[in-house]
Amino acid sequence: MPLLLRGASLLRLCQCTSGLSSVKFSSRVTVLVNLNAMRDGMRATYSRRAEVKKDEQPLTEKEDAAESDLEMERGRSSSPSQLQSMTVKELRELTRRRGISVKGTKKDLVSALMNSMAVEANGEEGKSSVELVSPLEVPLKRKGGASVVVEQKLESSEIISETPNKKRSRTKQKSSKNTTCQEISVTNVKLSKTVVQKETVDGLSPDDDSEPWTILVHKKPEASWIPYNPRTMRPPPLSKDTRALKIMSWNVNGLKALLKSRGFSVQQLAQREDFDVLCLQETKMQEKDIEVIKDTLLDGYTNSFWTCSVSKLGYSGTAIISRVKPLSIKYGLGIPDHDTEGRVVTVEFDDFYLLTAYVPNSGDGLKRLTYRVTEWDPSLGNYMKELEKSKPVILTGDLNCAHQEIDIHDPAGNRRSAGFTNEERESFGTNFLSKGFVDTFRKQHPNVVAYSYWGYRHNARKTNKGWRLDYFLVSESIAEKVHDSYILPDISASDHSPLGLVLKL
């Protein structure tokens, strides 16, 4: 009897909650019939659900397996961007199916698959996998949220744009994990209008390994900066009837070594550039060697003027070699404390004075920094202003200072390096620019990242991690007569590249 009453209560509850029609519970038969009917109905419902679930499960598993196989097959012939969108698990499965033995990060897996695809497509090995990827298909890397860098080659990178650091909600951050790399590149990267369009000239593309200077390599770039390409950024040559003078300048870092073993001679430079005057720095010559060298150095340049270090032999040294005979020549600054290292030669032409200078390096540990900024720079600046009283002045040479952040690939990392200290940069501005001398290259190329010096260590030239230490500074009165101020970064016989100035007379 208690069981029947409990069943009746359950039946009443079910009727109330499920909307069944009301019945009288006066007889046991009625209660039992209703309970049995409910039991059978519930069993039938559970049975149908179980059958549906049982039927659906294998179908779902088959669909998943088929989809997985389809994804694997699609990966076999997919583009690099599709490979980037696959998960690490999918990539590992695909490498296993293709018989590729590779471990590591997602980047390693993608590279191995891309190399495999390249071998199958071209029948040859050795091609870099990155060469198969377009710039927007390579994974983006952020540094501190300040800029977006798209890696385009293994040894160099191109800055596409600089975007501000934006705060994002946790929801957006989580959802972005499922976004493909290509979608990220579209939504988060805005291509700068100033990016140089890629061209092919003489079979070489600007980002070829043979022209690393055409890749923007800078750790703190501004959005408007572009890399230097002398093939496209130099003005057309002057007409033959225009009176002009071409001056070249080059820190050769040891003239004897350059002529003996470095594969590019001063004579080759003359044949290529057809300059009128050549200024040299860091010749490292001794007085006893000059007569022998200057007679065989250049054909047709009969006027040459050399100064050597007498305080330390085989050190420093400057020279001016010209096919135009100057009106006068002067060696040094006229100050004995500065003139024992052979750092300055001055020649006078009809329309201007020309100086070649090798400014002292502040040295390891900045031992000569104080001498440099308190004695040498002011003396050189005052000497130039004194000459300017009678004629305009042109100063060229290795001035051992990257004046602005645009002039060095890693400004933050070199704040206390010789050539980029605040003291040297301020001295450069105070003693030269503020006195009215114009940096001709920066005037012609205000937003161009160009270097003239690359250290021999760490493969700096090939990765374009350089400094702009070499200059042509001219008096304001002749700045508008400068037709071209340029660098020749392809000449790598020294750790400095030659630079040139074309001046209309």
Domain count, the chain: 1
358 is catalytic: yes
71 in a known ligand binding site? no
Q: Give the model's pLDDT for residue 178.
A: 46
Contact by Cβ (8 Å): 141, 126:
no
According to the annotation, is 207 in a ligand binding site?
A: no
For 149, the token pair is 């860098």
Give a yes or no: residue 155 inside a domain. no
| pLDDT, position 348 | 98
Q: Which of 207, 398, 439, 484 is catalytic?
A: 398
Q: Residue type for 16, please?
A: C
- Spot the catalytic one: 358, 383, 451, 471: 358
- Whether 398 is catalytic is yes
Residue 251 lies in a domain: yes
In a domain? residue 249 = yes
CB atoms within 10 A of CB 172: 10
Query: Is 94 contained in some domain?
Result: no
Q: Smallest Cα–Cα separation from 112: which of 122, 303, 125, 314?
A: 125
Q: Residues near 175 by Cβ (< 8 Å), separated by ≥ 6? A: none
What span, in angstroms and rounded, lies between the C-alpha atoms of 42 and 36? Answer: 10
Could you report the per-residue pLDDT of 490-504, keeping only the tens digit for each? 999 999 999 999 999
* pLDDT score of 458: 82
Q: What is the largest CA-CA distance in the chain?
A: 137
Is residue 496 annotated as part of the catalytic site, yes or no? yes
Query: What confidence score (pLDDT) does residue 47 get?
Result: 56
pLDDT score for 45: 56
In a domain? residue 427: yes
114 within some domain: no
Average pLDDT of the chain, as a whole number: 77
Residue 165 lies in a domain: no
Rg (CA), the chain: 38
Please state, in angstroms and rounded to a whole number, the distance separating the CA atoms of residues 63 and 490: 59
Is 178 assigned a ligand-binding role in the annotation?
Answer: no
Annotated binding residue 229? no
Residue 292 confidence (pLDDT): 87
pLDDT in tens, the chain (505 residues): 555 455 555 555 555 544 444 444 444 555 455 556 666 666 655 555 555 444 444 444 444 554 455 545 545 445 566 676 788 778 888 877 777 776 677 777 777 777 666 545 444 433 333 333 333 333 333 333 333 333 333 333 333 333 334 333 444 444 444 444 444 343 344 334 333 333 333 333 344 468 999 999 999 999 999 999 999 999 999 999 999 999 999 999 999 999 887 778 899 999 999 999 999 999 999 999 998 888 889 988 999 999 999 999 999 999 999 999 999 999 999 999 999 999 999 999 999 999 999 999 999 999 999 999 999 999 999 999 999 999 999 999 999 999 999 999 999 999 999 999 999 999 999 999 999 999 999 999 999 999 999 998 888 999 999 999 999 999 999 999 999 999 999 999 999 999 999 999 9
Count Cβ atoms within 10 A of the Cβ of residue 261 and give its class: 0-12 exposed, 13-18 middle, 19 or more buried: exposed
Asked whether residue 12 is assigned to any structural domain, the reply reads: no
Q: Kindly report the CA angle at 99 between 97 and 105, in degrees rounded to 5?
A: 85
**Residue 464 is assigned to a ligand binding site:** no
Which of 333, 311, 439 has its CA nearest to residue 377?
Answer: 333
The per-residue pLDDT for 99 is 72
- Domain of 268, in residue numbers: 243-504
| CATH classification at residue 306 | 3.60.10.10
Using DSSP, state whether 402 is helix, strand or coil. Answer: coil
Residue pLDDT, tens place only, 165-211: 433 344 444 444 444 444 434 334 433 433 333 333 333 334 446 89
Is 490 labeled as ligand-binding? no
Cα–Cα distance measured from residue 413 to residue 431, given in angstroms and rounded to the nearest whole number = 25
DSSP state of 317: -
- The tokens describing 75, both together, are 């990966």
